[in-house]
Structure 1
């Protein structure tokens, strides 16, 4: 009994010491221009207990991008309430992490890390931000021309229903991904546990775009029930594809509910289906235009705005890759860039259909 009480007392004292010795930094994200320097401070808590031995080691992921003036700190030299300066020098454009470990278990150094981003020109960063807002607006507004032309014609003849059905499912899943990762605490905790030093990839504008897209696409679908649609309907092929996607999502949700996979994985599965839909959703409309030898009823305004958004999105990626010397984001993981390029290619094809191939269409706008 005495031994157990002694062990418990030691355990309590150790935990108390660790709680007293939590080191941190004053900032986790550091942005510098090439060849600039900046100081980050390691914060020693006021209740810090002096540790007689052991050291804090600072490790840098890519020394060719940034270097620091201090890589080893003796814990015995730290004083309660002290701020220890760490000078960071930007050596090359790019992104790198500085993290730490300790040779003393009584020092908690999990919060001693920071991300360093080095850029070549500040003007390119500003230009990238402006381009980002322009393509965000272009993509958001791109849903309105089709709704307007449907209202003006009081007809949806020429608008492919397969495209609409795939589009609404894709944007619903995109909304689920964004809303879940941004608002649900349990999923955010899963993301933080999986990527301890990662930033949440979902921003408020991502949520606005996705939800706005669902609303406008849903409104366009309602127009299909109100206005003249002739004999148009969702094809059997599209229904099969939608059913396969639906079954996959339901099964994924089911196994996530029973903890076979994490809910974060379920959200990723939703995003994968959205990416797949992006690859195939334009095909039915392009084939319908070809079969009718007309683009009547299919808004070219939608295409021009989508082309603007897609082109500027890729331009932003190229500018950022150059400014941060991060070409791996394009060539090492080409999914986003490839999807943008694929969408722009379809937009160009639609423009050829509208302005060249079928400019003398026999179909008349009603």
Structure 2
């Protein structure tokens, strides 16, 4: 490398080591209107030779301010406690600007602040969130138990079940990839530099648990009485479209023509479409049979509870953070929740109003007539 190259390398290392890296802890802060909270700003440099000026720059000065809003760093100081005061509800990013600091040295010097109207609303929203998470998580089991108890899956539409399996697999791919694969997570942060990973551990648990529960239900279809049920041609065509779309996206990702994050987003779009259409086959199946026998109403009540509470939490958060844009600005999540609840109401009407006289029959295992079009009525007396 030569003497000159060695000298240059040593100088680079010395300059790099002498750089001050500024960080904050924690990165996320909650504060109530007219209340305050604090974070710690600290430096990793131990031998500072000059003073620097620190300025705090909220992206929305009407939402929050810091005390102090700026100061000069003294040579013998290495950490500072900064107070944040909430002014108006909302979300605000506060950047720390330090004179003479290299951009890479202050890349972690920021804090995300959520200003709330009420601390009580925050806790109510949290409770509501856990309740709907629990309701959705156990909503698979009434159907599994009903199938086991009757030793039959007659009444459970196979098109609905197959769409559900594919949907939750796509959802799990998105969650697991974005949460566990560093390369994909970095692709996300490259476009959301100071954002949070949208996938949380409870999302991982729910999606993987949903896949297992739906696969258990699929397994029941192989060991219990099915009547003459089978996948419809329409469902096979839809699945063919999904397979072609996902396979093509996967090939592009493998060829590096598509980022893996984009591939996962395409998987999530498949899940979105499935959520919109998956209830239709079961609703039509109940209508054609004029019965809801074999379709667990317990599953519907739990799904309804989860959907209503999910929308309630969104409304509570929108009010607490004055963030109604999260609903009307990006209506997908709220719209899907409303769509699911609407179908749940329709299923409840089918079960208790339209076909209530066809719901009190006792099953006779092994008594289905395969040549009957209305297999449900041939399995009950």
Could you state the TM-score of these two structures normalised by the residue count of structure 2?
0.88
1:165-314 to structure 2, matched below 5 A, reads 165-314=162-311
Which of 59, 62, 84 is matched with 1:61 structurally? 59
Q: 1:356 to 1:131 in 2, by over 3 A?
A: same
1:141 pairs with one of 135, 138, 141: 138
C-alpha separation in 1, matches of 2:102 and 2:268: 42
Displacement of 1:273: 0.8
Residues 232-256 of structure 1 deviation map (CA, whole Å, 9 limit, x = unaligned)? 1001111111111112112212221
C-alpha contact (below 8 Å) 1:28/1:115 kept by paired residues: yes
The whole-number CA distance in structure 2 between the counterparts of 1:50 and 1:325 is 45
Matches of 1:293 and 1:48, distance apart in 2: 81
Query: Equivalent residue of 1:360, what SS?
Result: helix
1:89 pairs, out of 85, 91, 96, with 85
- Cα distance in 2, alignment partners of residues 103 and 271 from structure 1: 43
Distance in 2 (alpha carbons) for counterparts of 1:12 and 1:73 = 30
In 2, the alpha carbon distance for the partners of 1:244 and 1:315 equals: 35
- 1:319: Cα distance to partner? 0.9
Match of 1:45 in 2: 44
**Cα distance change, pair 362–95 in 1 and its aligned pair in 2 (3 A):** closer
CA deviation after TM superposition for structure 1 residue 3, in Å? 8.0
Equivalent of 2:354, from 354, 357, 366?
A: 357
Change (3 A) 1:206 1:2: closer
Contact 2:65/2:86 (CA < 8 Å) preserved in 1? yes
Report the counterpart of residue 17 of structure 2 in structure 1.
Answer: 16
User: What displacement does 1:36 show?
Assistant: 0.8
Segments of 5+ residues of structure 2 without an aligned counterpart are 364-381
| Cα deviation digits, residues 80-120 of structure 1 (max 9, x gap) | 44223433211011110001344525472112100111112
CA distance in 1, matches of 2:302, 2:339: 15
Indicate which of 122, 125, 134 corresponds to 1:125: 122
What SS does the corresponding residue of 2:207 show, helix, strand or coil? helix
How far residue 152 of structure 1 moved from its aligned partner, in angstroms, is: 2.0
* 1:343 aligned partner: 340
Aligned equivalents of 2:117, 2:301: Cα separation in 1:
32
Secondary structure of the 2:106 match is strand
Structure 1 distance, partners of 2:108, 2:318, is 29
**Aligned partner of 2:112 among 106, 111, 115:** 115
Alpha-carbon distance in 1 for matches of 2:110, 2:338:
36
Taking the TM superposition and a 5 Å limit, the aligned residue runs for 1:70-109 are: 70-74=68-72, 77-106=73-102, 108-109=105-106
Q: Across the two proteins, how many residue pairs are aligned to each other?
A: 361
Query: Contact 2:292/2:359 (CA < 8 Å) preserved in 1?
Result: no
RMSD between aligned residues = 2.2
SS class of match (1:198): coil
Of residues 151-160 and 237-246 in structure 1, the stretch that sits farther from structure 2 once superposed is 151-160
Deviation at 1:148?
1.5
Task: Give the direction of change, closer, same or farther, for the CA distance of 1:65–1:48 in structure 2 (3 Å limit).
Answer: farther
Compute the TM-score of the two structures, normalised by the length of structure 1. 0.91
The SS at the match of 1:111 is: coil
Provide Cα deviations, 1:29-84, integer angstroms capped at 9, x if missing partner: 111111012333321234243346x644321111111012344444xx43244223
| Kept in 2: contact 1:22–1:45 (CA 8 A) | yes
How far apart, in 2, do the equivalents of 1:73 and 1:81 lie?
12
Residues 260-285 of structure 1 show CA distances to partners (whole Å, capped at 9, x for unaligned) of 22212211111111111000000001
How big is the shift at 1:190? 2.5
Gap regions ≥5 residues in structure 1 = none
